[in-house]
Amino acid sequence: MTTFARRNRGMTVALLLFVAPATASLAAEAAVVIPAPAVDEAMKGSSETAVFAGGCFWGVQAVFQHVNGVKNAVSGYSGGAKETASYETVSLGKTGHAESVEVTFDPHQVSYGKLLQVFFSVAHNPTQLNYQGPDQGTQYRSAIFTTSDEQQKVAAAYIAQLDKTGLFHAPIVTKLSKLQGFYPAEKYHQDFLTLNPGHPYIVYNDMPKIDNLKAIFPASFRANPVLVSKAKS
């Protein structure tokens, strides 16, 4: 989706909210309360990275920015070549990239398993194949780009565990692959929810995710998000 298209989508959402304010909130993605992973990573080191893709990176980034133990969450692109890692190109849906978020976290404060639980529960809907909510295309696919063999094993085991619970209305379609590269998105995409809380797309699609995070994971919720603009270099 191009910048122009996303602006138009925001206008469409604004119209829906104006025409049907009593029912509009019902259309936003609902969170699913799920168990924690039965298998998690061994605690090691003071810093680790994980990369998640779950639709538009604005909302996914914002969710992880509000998780205790997360040091930074950067919107970007994964799955394709460095040469095609730009918003206008990725939006064509032919680069192999997915809009992704690179999460840097302290394993002593939040485990990889907990991040997975948040990802599958409130950050996106893992049963939607090659789309997420209003956004269509492989660039909005559900994916986890693992940075180690242990991450790969934990994520695969968790998907199998969740599928067996029957808590989701359809099978999980999240694709696992080893991270080949992460390329930060343009500056105007970083911290987008915090900087644009009144944007119709954010109000309709992403603010409910923050509310769900606070309600379902109160012990993991941080009121003040960790922002890219304030991250230590």
The H or E element containing residue 14 is helix 3-19
Cβ contact 68:114 at 8 Å: no
Cβ contact 97:80 at 8 Å: yes
The active-site residue, picked from 1, 34, 50, 56, is 56
* Strand positions, DSSP E, the chain: 48-54, 70-78, 98-105, 131-132, 135-136, 142-146, 175-178, 182-184
Rounded-to-integer distance, Cα 138 and Cα 99, Å: 9
β-pairing, 135-136 with 131-132?
antiparallel
Q: What are phi and psi of 21, to 5 degrees?
A: -65, -25
Q: Is 136 a catalytic residue?
A: no
Rounded-to-integer distance, Cα 29 and Cα 120, Å: 12
Cβ contact 83:50 at 8 Å: no
Closest CA to 56 of 146, 233, 216, 185: 185
Provide the CB-side half-sphere exposure for 83 (13 A, CA): 1
Report residue 144 as tokens: 């986890």
Catalytic residues: 56
